[in-house]
Chain A
Amino acid sequence: MADKLLIGVSAQGATVGLWRGNRIAECHALANDESGHAAFRELLASFDNLPAYLMVDAVEEDYRFETLPHAFGSDRAEMVARKLRQHYRNTPYMTAWLLGRDAGKRRDDRYLFSALTNPELIDEWLKAVVARGLPVAGVYLLPMVSAALPQKLDIKAGNLLLVAPHVGGLRLTFFRDRQFRLSRLTRGDSGKGENRARYFGEEISNTRLYLHALRTMTLDEQLTVLLLDRNDDLADVAAGIARDNPSLECVRLGRQELAARLNLAESLLDASPYVMYLHLLGFRAPQSNLAPANVTLGHKRYQARRGIYMGAAALALGSAVWAGANLFQTLMLRGEEEDAARERAQLSAQYLEITRQFPAAPASAENLMKTVEIAQKLRESVRTPEMMMAAVSRALEASPTIVVKEFGWKYGTTEIEAESAGARTASPAAAPAPESPAPAGPAIVRKQSGLIEGEIRPFRGDYRGAIDTIHAFADRLAKEPAVAAVRVVKLPLNVSPALQISGNTLDSPDQSATADFKVVVVFKPNA
C-alpha cells in the first residue's frame, strides 16, 4: 500500500513513482499520448485516497524576484494575489514564495514569484487524478523541488550550477548560497559524443552570461558546476568542461554516488531522470505550490480526515493508557485489601481464641464498663428538692409571719417560671413540651430553681412592714452558700411609678387585704 503518488510531468510524458515508507517503491514511465494516458488511468484505478504530488519540468516556466512593501495578514495576501494576477494572467498555476526581508532601510519583503505558463501541459494527467478522486497535494516546478538537492548531496559551493540532462533538453539551475536563483531548460537534444561536451559547455557559458546580465553573478566569480550523471556517460563532458573552462570547478556525480547520497536504488535511476527529483519531493514538498485552492481542496479534506483519525487514535491510546493505569491501580488496591483482610482474619482468630478464656458476659467489655459508669454518673447527677426546702426553712425561721402557700422546684437547663410553680397538671398532653434532647458535646449545665409563693400573716395594711419582712427573707435566703440568686417577683404592693394604685385606708385589713408575694431562688449550677 503506497503512501504517496509522485508524478513527474514533462512535455514528453510522465514518470509515476509510488512512495512507500521512506522511499520510492515502484516507478513507471508513461508517454504523453493516448496509450500513456490510458496506462496512467489504469494505474490510478488501483488506488484510493492516495495523495498525489505533481512535479512539472517544462520550458514554459517563469521566475521573478521582487520586493514588495512589508505587510502581513490579509493585506499581504491581497497584495501578493494582485501581483500574481498582474504577472500571470493566463495560468492558474502560480505562486509566491516569501524569501525574507530586504537588507535596505525599508526592510521590504523579498518574494520569488513562479508560474507554469502552459497549464495544458499537465491538464490530461491532472484530470485523470481528479477523476479518480485522489486528493491533489500540490503542483510544483522541478527547479523548486531541486532546491533541496545541494543539501542532500552535501555540496557546499557558494555559486552552484546544477546541470542535468533531461528528456526534453538540458536543465541548468543556479543556486547562490544554496538558495534558488535561476533555472532554464534548453530545448532539443542534449547532444552526443564530442558534440555533447561542446553543447554542455555552450549552455553553461550562456547561463553564466545570462546570470551576468541579470547581475546575479559576475563572470569573474568562482562557479561550481555539478553534473548529475545518472547514466555514467558524462565523464568526457566533465573533463571537457574542466579543460575548456579553467575558472570553473566541475563536479560529476555518477550513478552509484547519486544513489548512495540520495539513498535511492540504482535501478530506479534507469527508469527516468525525474526519479531523483520525485525522491526529493516524496521526502518533502517545497513551499512553492502552484496549485490553486480548488485543486488542493480534496487534499485539504484528506489532511483534515487524517488529522481527525490521528486525533481519535491518540485519544483512544490516551484513554486506553488512562483506563489501564486505573485498572492497574485497582488491582494493586485489591491486592492490598486482600492482604489486610487476611491479616485481620488472623488477628480476629487470635482474639477469639483469647476471648474463650474470658468470663461469659452479656455485653462487650467496653459496654459493660460504660453502662456501669453511666449508671454511677446518673445517680450522682440526680437532685431532689430537699436541699432547697432546707434552705427555705432556715430562712423562714426568723420570719414567723411568713406563711408559705406553695413551693415549686425544678432541676433543668432553664429556671422555673414565676407564674407556674412546677407541674400543676397530671395530664402529659396539657403539659409544656419537655426539653428537647441535648446534643452530645460540651456539658449541659443544669441548675435547681424554686418558686416560693406565700403571704404575710397577720397583715394589718402595713405594706412597708410586709415588704421589709419579704426582703429580709429574701436576703437571708441569698446568704445560703448554695444560692446563686434570689428574685422577689411579686410584692404585696406594686410601687412601680408605671402603674396605678387605688384603695381605702378605712378598709379593714383583717378582712379583705392580703400581702401575697413570690420569690424565685436559683441555686449555683453544681449545688
Chain B
Amino acid sequence: MNQADLQALKNPLLVLAAVLLAGAVAIYATGQLTASAQRQLTQQQAQLKEARTRLQKSGEEKDIIVRYLDGFRQLQRSGFVGEEQRINWLDGLRLTNQQADLFGVDYQIGVQKPYQFAGAFSPGQVELNQSVMRLRFRLLHEEDMMRFFNILARQNTGIFAIDQCSMRRIDTGGVIRYQPNVTAECEISWITAKVAAAGKQ
C-alpha cells in the first residue's frame, strides 16, 4: 500500500476510526451503567435480606432488649459504656487510698487507644478502648496491694484489668513502726466500650 492508496482510503479509515472509537465509548459507558446497576442491585438485595431477617427476628429482639437492658444501663452508670470517666477513676483512686489506709497513690494515665485484646471478645459493632494507668504507691504489707485493688473494684467506676505489678521491699533498717515497708508499681488498663445509639448502626 503506497501513499496514493492511503490518500484514497483516508476518509473511510477516518470513518472506521470514528466508528471504532464511538463504539468502544458506547460499549464502555453502557457496560459501566450495567456494572453500577448490578452493584446497586446486590446492595439492595443484601439490605432486603437483612430487613427480612430483622423482621423475622423481631420477637427475639424484644426478648433480648428486656433481658439485657438493665445490665447495659448498669454498665453505663459504671462508666464502662460511653466516654471515659477519668474524674470518676481519680475519685475512685482517692477513696480507695483512704479506705485502704495507704500512704498516697501516684498515678499517670496514658492516651486512649483501641483495646489490644478486643479481638478475643468478638466485639462486632462495639468499639473497645483502653487507657493505661500507671500507679505507684507504698504499702505497709504485701497484702495491702490486693486489698487496694479489691477496694478499687468495689468503687464501681468502670472495668479495669491489671497488666503487671512489681513490689520491692523498702529497707527500714529494722525499725518497727507504722511506716511503708513495700513500694508497689502497677499498670492497669481501664477498658471502655463505645456503642452506637439505637437506629444509628
Q: Is this pair of chains taken from one and the same complex?
A: yes
Interchain CB contact under 8 A, B58 and A355: yes
Contact between chains at B128 and A406 (CB < 8 Å): no
Residues of chain B within 8 A (CB-CB) of A423 are 134, 164-166, 185-187
B37 touching A337, Cβ below 8 Å: yes
CA distance A369 to B122 in the complex (A): 12
**Distance to closest chain B CB from A508 (angstroms):** 20
Comparing A114-122, A274-282, A302-310, the segment that makes contact with chain B is A302-310
Determine the residue in chain B with the shortest Cβ distance to A327.
Answer: B30
Select which of B120, B128, B162 is within 8 A of A384 by beta carbon.
B162
A319: Cβ under 8 A from any B Cβ: yes
Q: A406-B169, A411-B162 are in contact. Are A438 and B119 (CB under 8 A)?
A: yes
A443 to B118, CA, bound (A): 10
Contact (Cβ within 8 A) B12 A371: no
Check B26 against A311 for contact (C-beta < 8 Å).
no
Is A232 an interface residue when CB atoms closer than 8 A count as contact? no
144-201 of chain B: CB within 8 A of chain A: 145-146, 149, 159-169, 185-187, 191, 193, 195-199, 201
List which B127-151 residues lie within 8 A (CB) of chain A.
Answer: 128, 132, 134-136, 142, 145-146, 149
Q: How far is the CB of A326 from chain B (nearest CB, A)?
A: 3
Interface string of B70-104 (1 = CB under 8 A from A): 01110110001100000000000000000000000
Could you tell me if B75 and A411 are in contact, using CB atoms closer than 8 angstroms?
Answer: no
Q: Does A422 touch B at the CB level, under 8 Å? A: yes
Inter-chain contact B34/A312, CB cutoff 8 Å: no
Residue from A304, A308, A372 in contact with B75 in the complex, judged by beta carbons closer than 8 Å:
A372
Cβ of A518 under 8 Å from chain B: no
- The reply to whether the CB of B112 lies closer than 8 angstroms to some CB of chain A is no
Question: A326 touching B30 by the CB < 8 A rule?
Answer: yes
Indicate if the CB atoms of B164 and A337 lie closer than 8 Å: no
Complex interface residues of chain A between 416 and 447 (CB less than 8 A to chain B): 416, 421-428, 431, 434-441, 443-444, 446
Q: A437 — which chain B residues lie within 8 A by C-beta?
A: 113-119
User: Among residues 43 to 71 in chain B, which have CB atoms less than 8 Å away from a CB atom of chain A?
Assistant: 44-45, 47-48, 51-52, 54-55, 58, 61-62, 64-69, 71
Which chain A residues numbered 171 to 196 have a C-beta less than 8 Å away from chain B? none
Residue from A319, A348, A367, A422 within 8 A of B196 (CB atoms): A367
Residues in A whose Cβ lies below 8 Å from that of B68: 365, 368-369, 371-372
Q: Is the CB of A434 within 8 A of B136?
A: no
Q: Is the CB–CB distance between B52 and A347 below 8 Å?
A: yes
Cα distance A418–B158 when bound, in Å?
Answer: 32
B166-A305 in contact (CB<8A):
no
Kindly state the separation between the CA atoms of A330 and B27 in the bound complex, as whole angstroms. Answer: 13
B136 proximity list for chain A (CB < 8 A):
426
Main secondary structure of the interface of A (DSSP, over half): helix
Which residues of A lie under 8 Å from residue B198 when comparing CB positions? 361-364
Query: Is the C-beta of A285 less than 8 angstroms from some C-beta in chain B?
Result: no
CB 8 Å contact bits of A55-83 with B (1 = contact, 0 = none):
00000000000000000000000000000
- Interface flag for A412 (CB, 8 Å): yes
Q: How close is A502's CB to chain B, nearest CB, in angstroms? A: 28
Point out which of A336, A348, A382 has the most chain B C-beta atoms below 10 A from its C-beta.
A382
Is A375's CB under 8 angstroms from B16's CB?
A: no
Complex CA–CA separation, A450 to B45 (angstroms) = 55
Stretch of A2-10, A201-209, A338-346 lying at the B interface = A338-346
Q: Are A422 and B72 touching (Cβ within 8 A)? A: no
> CA–CA, A304 to B113, complex, Å?
73
Given contacts A304-B8, A407-B167, A427-B134, 11 further A-B contacts (CB under 8 A): A330-B37, A340-B44, A361-B198, A367-B124, A369-B68, A371-B126, A375-B71, A406-B167, A408-B166, A421-B166, A441-B119
Question: Which B residues are closer than 8 A to A by beta carbons?
Answer: 5, 8-9, 11-13, 15-16, 19-20, 22-24, 26-27, 29-31, 33-34, 37-38, 40-41, 44-45, 47-48, 51-52, 54-55, 58, 61-62, 64-69, 71-73, 75-76, 80-81, 106, 108, 110, 113-126, 128, 132, 134-136, 142, 145-146, 149, 159-169, 185-187, 191, 193, 195-199, 201
What are 20 A-B contacts defined by CB distance under 8 Å?
A: A309-B16, A315-B19, A318-B23, A319-B23, A323-B23, A323-B29, A330-B33, A334-B37, A340-B47, A344-B51, A351-B58, A363-B198, A372-B72, A372-B75, A405-B168, A405-B169, A409-B164, A422-B164, A437-B115, A438-B120
Which residues of A does B touch, CB under 8 Å?
301, 304-305, 308-309, 311-313, 315-316, 318-320, 322-323, 326-327, 329-330, 333-334, 336-337, 340-341, 343-344, 347-348, 350-351, 354-355, 357-359, 361-372, 374-375, 377-379, 381-386, 389, 404-412, 416, 421-428, 431, 434-441, 443-444, 446
What 8 pairs across the A-B complex have the smallest Cβ distances? A319-B23, A422-B166, A326-B30, A440-B119, A308-B12, A333-B37, A410-B164, A365-B64
